[in-house]
């Protein structure tokens, strides 16, 4: 019995159901609905009508082969037994453990990220149609400098709110290591190079929507970093926020970086056709004069 108990314990540890040794059938009372009486009435080869079993009969050559298959779950429980609602809840619980989207700091950061491109595009289009700012300042250059200063202040506010949102929420331990910090620092450096080189290539008025004020260059800038990618200032800024989020090991920072990227994509879809069109018109006028 000691050996049997040991084997049984090992089987239980492996998830194997213990089968008890067969015993002699005991006499049953008349009228009792029992396995023993059923087998006695049907014979030793009978298959009991157990719940969850299906008996398949397949015709063979002169004989019938009977196979019993269990309709219950397989050894791993089966994919059909997975509660996907609970799985989704686990993912959401894990995410909310790090990021609270209702936290005031997160909400303010989200709003500043979404507001900035919306603001400068609305004001620039309004100026392009009405020339109100140019009239108010007496010069399109002064009006552009004013709008550029406002945009810079809004960007400082956005970066501050981004940082506060990260600091107000927990870090992810898996990201809090020297390797991730170094990667974030590298991204911050690359992003800064793209932002500053874009600024020097475009100049102040070119950077801050001077084309909407009628301040155009001779042609679209194609030197570095525009020779490497389109819209390098936007993607450089995105790299800065991504690097900053990694340096803080912050899931909140990573999520807000995604928001930054999406907002910039929308801004590019809105701005790019206008910029292309005004430089096409300028090129057409130049050819017409020749």
Binding-site members for S-adenosyl-L-methionine are: 189-191, 271-272
User: Nearest Cα to 116, choosing from 159, 145, 163?
Assistant: 159
Binding-site residue set: 189-191, 271-272
Tell me the C-alpha distance between 268 and 120, whole Å. Answer: 13
User: Nearest Cα to 244, choosing from 173, 168, 192, 170?
Assistant: 192
H/E element holding 58? strand 53-59
Residue count (the chain) = 290
CB 167 within 8 A of CB 108: no
**Per-residue CA distances from 115 to 19, 156, 177, 202, 207 (Å):** 69, 13, 33, 24, 18
Pair of tokens at residue 156: 């400082």
């Amino acid at each position: 019995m000691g050996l049997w108990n040991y084997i049984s314990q090992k089987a239980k540890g492996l998830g194997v159901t213990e089968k008890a040794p067969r015993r002699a059938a005991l006499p049953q009372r008349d009228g009792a609905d029992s396995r023993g009486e059923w087998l006695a009435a049907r014979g030793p080869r009978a298959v009991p009508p157990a719940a969850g079993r299906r008996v398949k009969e397949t015709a063979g050559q002169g004989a019938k082969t009977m196979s019993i298959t269990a309709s219950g779950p397989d050894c791993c429980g089966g994919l059909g037994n997975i509660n996907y609602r609970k799985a989704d809840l686990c993912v959401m619980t894990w995410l909310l453990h790090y990021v609270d989207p209702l936290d005031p700091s997160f909400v303010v950061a989200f709003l500043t990220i979404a507001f900035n491109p919306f603001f400068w595009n609305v004001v620039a289009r309004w100026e392009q149609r009405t020339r109100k700012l140019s009239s108010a300042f007496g010069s399109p250059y002064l009006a552009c400098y004013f709008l550029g200063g406002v945009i810079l202040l809004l960007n400082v506010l956005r970066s501050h709110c981004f940082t506060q949102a990260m600091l107000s929420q927990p870090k992810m331990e898996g990201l809090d290591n020297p390797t991730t910090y170094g990667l974030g620092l590298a991204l911050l450096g690359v992003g800064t190079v793209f932002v500053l080189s874009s600024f020097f290539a475009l100049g102040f008025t070119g950077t801050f929507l001077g084309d909407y004020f009628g301040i155009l260059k001779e042609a679209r800038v194609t030197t570095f970093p525009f020779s490497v990618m389109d819209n390098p200032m936007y993607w450089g800024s995105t790299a800065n926020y991504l690097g900053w989020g990694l340096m803080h090991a912050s899931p909140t920072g990573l999520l807000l970086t995604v928001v930054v990227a999406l907002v910039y994509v929308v801004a590019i879809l809105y701005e790019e056709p206008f910029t292309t069109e005004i430089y096409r018109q300028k090129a057409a006028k130049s050819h017409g004069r020749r």
